[in-house]
Structure 1
Amino acid sequence: MLLPVDDSKSVLALGMTAEEITVLSRSYHHIDVLPSAHRYKIIIIGKEIVDDASTGNYLSCLADEGTLVVVGSGNIRREIKRKGLICLGDYAALPPKQPRLFIPLTSKKIREIGISFHSPGSRRSKLWLSLARKLNAIGIIEHLRRNTVSFWSNSVNFSNKNTIKNWISERVGWEVIDLIIYAGSDAVDRKITALAISSDCNKKVIARIADTDLGTLAIKRESEALKRLAQSSINNLVPSLIAEDKYGPYFIQLQSCFPKSAGQCRKLSNLHIRFLAELSKINRIKTPVNQTAEWKMLSAPLELPDTINNMATNLVKNGVAGKIVECHMSHGDFVPWNIICEQNGILVYDWENSNPTGFPFHDVFHFIYRQAALVGPWPGSLALLKAMRKSAACLAHESKIIFEPVLALSLWCIKEYLCKPDSRLIELAIELNRTKNE
């Protein structure tokens, strides 16, 4: 993200795990784990290097105007300073055990924006970020310095040329002074999300970066969704697509940034229902159930628990395949942490899982279930099904789409289990079967 994009040069990676080197190989094809005879434009020192003397020896391998990256903190930093290198920037890596959020430690304002950039779902993470925000407000940042990634150069003439930061600056027409980075999980379709900031912090843009083929496909799906939304009645409640292109080994998308003036809303409200009703007007089509993506999953060979498998079998036996349903554009990951609540409406981002012809009411079910399962508290399967039915009925009234509870809930339950298996979905399936005639 912050290194020059040039895979023709060799990178020296020291003290790094095999997994870290594998990730690095997505961007650089030539990676040495021991120094060779030549000098390197980029040297990365991982946490496994603890010998200060050896660090000093490795620094002699750094080419002119080269970049040194140090993961972690400690005595190595003092040795680097003693060798006369210039610190280009420090980034706090949070949480320390499994870093996902990287915040520049430059100014209080940028740190404040960085701490607020990612909205975690868990209570523990929310409490941690709340404490970090309060400590930053009074200028205490030692807790952020305990686990850092720092960038150094042996030249006062270091340039951001050939970096993603410079690429973004050229596309938006103003200088990007720094990036706040959310790496997320290292899945095969992973996307890195960065917030690019101007020097006065008044200009911001979101960058989505992929370094895998599946990640690139996910970003392109989101771009297509944003293009459709731009022509809709809710275009002011979703990000605007600014640019997308390939740069070196990366595929990058730029989109507008929402203000973080408001927070999440953990409960489904009338604002959510009104938004989903407007979303249901986009690309609304009538189609047989067996032509939907959700139904086509049933025709593939599946390994499912008996309860979920019986649910799928019953749907096939009940002859609903030819039933006509009204499908429409869906979000695909409609959850509190992808939504900003304001007084008169909600702002919704992260459209990579959007389906142009999604099954009706599934966004409602997804919101209620994921909030209960991932954040809590879990109210029990009966209470959750009642909440799903009630909210879907409200959306049916608002959108004028017929709600068939057993069909909609069964297909959603199977799809959800295939995406993220969980014993609580089996619980829900049992309860749905027991109460299907109520």
Structure 2
Amino acid sequence: MNVYDSERMAEALSRDGYRETTDIAQADLVILNTCHIREKAAEKVYSDLGRIRDVKDARKRDGKETVIAVAGCVAQAEGREITTRQPAVNLVIGPQSYHRLPELIARTETTKERIVETEFPGDEKFERMKTPRRVSSPSAFLTVQEGCDKFCTFCVVPYTRGAEFSRPLAKLEAEARELTAAGARELVLLGQNVNAYHGEGPGGRSVGLAELIRSLANIDGVERIRYMTSHPRDMDDDLIAAHADVPQLMPFLHLPVQSGSDRMLAAMNRKHTAAEYIDLIARVRAARPDIALSSDFIVGFPGETDQDAEDTLALVRAVGFAQAFSFKYSPRPGTPASSLEDQVPEDVKSERLQRLQALLDEQQSDFNSRCLGDVVPVLFERRGRQPGEFVGRTPYLQLVHAAADGDLVGRMANVAVTDVRRLSLSGVVQSGVIAAA
């Protein structure tokens, strides 16, 4: 979602003559778009701001002014604390106020005041950010929902992104057509809790994610659809059926479980049990047997015992994942879990994470190994590092490297898999064959 937001900010600023640069010493405006989900990400902001301040000072000695803005969830959570800790920052702007970015930058340039803007007008944000969408890849992000009402005890999202807000179906259809007209062939539907989508549809009725997917699949040029990130509580029968019925919906599901221990799940306020999650996965697989599964895991949540950690490993073995993200618990200020007693020692977290990641890595390698010798449809997204090499993704979100004459970027082609690694596949493009989605 931060990638999507960064793209939209760049599009809005382009109307005022701004263009992106890879050389920070040439930048009149530097924006840090931040994440607050883990402590390291938040602390990295202040480390980066120190380096950017030095660039700003050097440019000032050459008679050049530099505006520094901090955007995203750290901006929302910490507000004026950022300008207090780092006075070189001119603007702090939360994720629901990006539509005001051009006017706020102009204001700080004129008045030299430091501005903090952290309101929550989500609907106004999307209504006013109507700049033409730019497409730099055949796979394009489309934010359909923001915010979360679940209030998991470890999570800052309800406090930094606000309550759940879903965009109207007609607005999303229009943006999707704009993206496909600009060259997108795959749409990745985004939301902090994307399967809680409940946008306004025809006649003012509420539309769920499954109906949104079916509608977008009918748009010319939409060949692939993905969505993330989901919550098990919102994985309804219609959405499961869409995985069986909609050819454009890719057989890949990222469905965070966080833990395999019912005791930990209750402490996290997840409102589901390990057995319910496993049953849900069985229903999804019944609808789409070849689906690849991904998840999130938190290791070392306060009060986690050795048995709780073993329960998580047991769930991983029971489900089988194609890939997953796993992290040590990181207390976030203001969340209920941050004040819980019985915090797990760091060395214990590290040992448990190592064991979990070893199992997840083994499952990812096994999943990829089963593709050896298969012919898979690949949507190529970019050039690789080697001459003539291109990089794309399978329907299961695996990275694929393949060589070809000409230009494969933006094209779909069948690839025979000849080599398998844990994180990627390599193969040979089947000449004269353009793949189905």
TM-score of the pair, normalised by structure 1: 0.30
Rg (Cα) greater in structure: 1
Higher relative contact order (CA 8 A, sep 6+): 1
